[in-house]
């Protein structure tokens, strides 16, 4: 299936073409501002389906709204009407089409051109009235407020919010792309002149958005993971990371060093506890304590370890010899005092997961030698 994507170098276009190229069912044709009108005609007449994303939303003059939205769509419709394929056209419009402003009027005009195409040819059409979009590759200070906020916070720039109570209706770019791809693959020819809504949207205030984005930046010090159970938070965090400078992908952790080696906290979470990583010198033992409620998992990444357990009411010692090349996890049940000893000749690296964050007021950690 040959799919022409107009506006292929824009925010939605770049994400869409990347997804389409991953699917062997599609052959992607691209049209952008660098192409001529003659090239548009050639591309339209090759296409089985057209995703018309090209348009203008921040012109230098108001006249560009009409020429970049309605008039460009009219040209595309003219070429599609002359095509033997009479392609299915999916139009990217905006919720602004319901408003009485130059941009909204130009998007409504583009919709009307597509509707006329169906009336004249009977060809299938799909019209998306998109809300505010966010996601990777959106241009700051152009496409969306979220792009601007993410870019500025990630790059230590000031942000300005005049009214934090303003609520945005938002859709995530991959949800939009998934819907478009599903429509491209659909053979349902019923219900032409279809207005399609993005299946997943979110209503969030500017205050909520900015607070979350600032927490993402602070995560490198707090180590607190976002709440991924909230899908909006998950998608916004993914968006934020896409605005990091390429020389700022990496960051250091605080190392707590002593004669045994070192230990660093890796991540924390209000709903899944925390993770540590440690390096332990040969012959050194860590632990010799137990918990009543707290539980842990140990995995030795490198080196050789002897993990020992003893039920606090018994004298029998249980031993697990673990090597780094095994990728083997050891659970630490409550009520068992436990220790981990480096029995190898090299330094041992261990990853620890604990089901709750360490609380100095209630550590639930009681020293007790495994071997008495």
The domains of the chain, with CATH numbers, are 2-209 (3.40.50.720), 256-367 (2.60.120.10)
Q: Which residues are catalytic?
A: 103
pLDDT band at 188 (very low <50, low <70, confident <90, very high): low
Give the predicted TM-score (pTM) of the model.
0.90
CB 286 within 8 A of CB 365: no
Give the mean pLDDT of the chain.
94
CB 106 within 8 A of CB 69: yes
Tokens describing residue 244: 């990091």
Non-local CB neighbours of 350 within 8 Å, separated by 6+ positions: 277, 278, 280, 298, 299, 300, 301, 305, 340
* CA neighbor of 260 nearest in space, from 281, 276, 278: 281
Sheet holding 88-94, edge to edge: 27-31, 2-6, 49-52, 88-94, 125-130, 194-196
- Banded model confidence at residue 66, pLDDT cuts 50, 70, 90: confident
Give the count of beta carbons closer than 10 Å to the beta carbon of residue 209.
24
Region 315-322 average pLDDT: 98
pLDDT score of 34 more than 70:
yes
Please report which confidence band the pLDDT of residue 47 belongs to, taking 50, 70 and 90 as the band edges: very high
Q: Assess whether pLDDT exceeds 60 at residue 192.
A: no
- Crossing angle for the helix pair 72-82 and 37-46, nearest 10 degrees? 40
């Amino acid at each position: 299936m040959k799919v022409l994507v107009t506006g292929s170098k824009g925010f939605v276009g770049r994400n869409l073409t990347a997804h389409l190229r991953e699917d062997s069912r599609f052959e992607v044709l691209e049209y952008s501002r660098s192409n001529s009108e003659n090239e548009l005609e050639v591309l339209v007449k090759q296409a089985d389906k057209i995703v018309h994303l090209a348009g203008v939303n921040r012109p230098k003059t108001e006249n560009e709204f009409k020429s970049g939205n309605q008039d460009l769509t009219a040209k595309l419709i003219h070429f599609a009407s002359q095509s033997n394929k009479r392609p299915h056209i999916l139009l990217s419009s905006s919720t602004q089409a319901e408003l009485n402003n130059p941009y909204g009027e130009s998007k409504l005009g583009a919709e009307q051109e597509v509707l006329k195409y169906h009336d004249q040819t009977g060809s299938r059409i799909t019209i998306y009235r998109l809300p505010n979009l966010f996601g990777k590759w959106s241009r700051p200070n152009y496409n969306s407020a979220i792009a601007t906020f993410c870019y500025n916070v990630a790059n230590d720039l000031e942000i300005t919010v005049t009214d934090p109570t303003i609520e945005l209706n938002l859709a995530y770019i991959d949800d939009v792309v998934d819907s478009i791809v599903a429509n491209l693959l659909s053979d349902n020819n019923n219900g032409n002149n279809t207005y399609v809504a993005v299946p997943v949207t979110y209503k969030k205030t500017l205050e909520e958005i900015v607070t979350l984005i600032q927490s993402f930046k602070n995560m490198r010090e707090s180590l607190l993971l976002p709440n991924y159970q909230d899908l909006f938070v998950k998608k916004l965090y993914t968006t934020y990371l896409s605005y990091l400078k390429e020389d700022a992908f990496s960051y250091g952790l605080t190392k707590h060093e002593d004669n045994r080696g070192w230990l660093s906290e890796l991540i924390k979470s209000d709903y899944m506890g925390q993770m540590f990583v440690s390096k332990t010198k040969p012959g050194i033992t860590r632990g010799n304590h137990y918990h009543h409620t707290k539980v842990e998992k140990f995995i030795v990444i490198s080196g050789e370890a002897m993990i020992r357990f003893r039920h606090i009411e018994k004298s029998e010692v249980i031993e697990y010899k673990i090597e780094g090349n095994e990728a083997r996890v050891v659970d630490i049940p409550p009520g068992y005092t436990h220790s981990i000893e480096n029995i190898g000749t090299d330094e041992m690296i261990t990853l620890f997961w604990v089901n709750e964050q360490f609380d100095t007021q209630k550590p639930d950690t009681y020293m007790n030698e495994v071997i008495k």
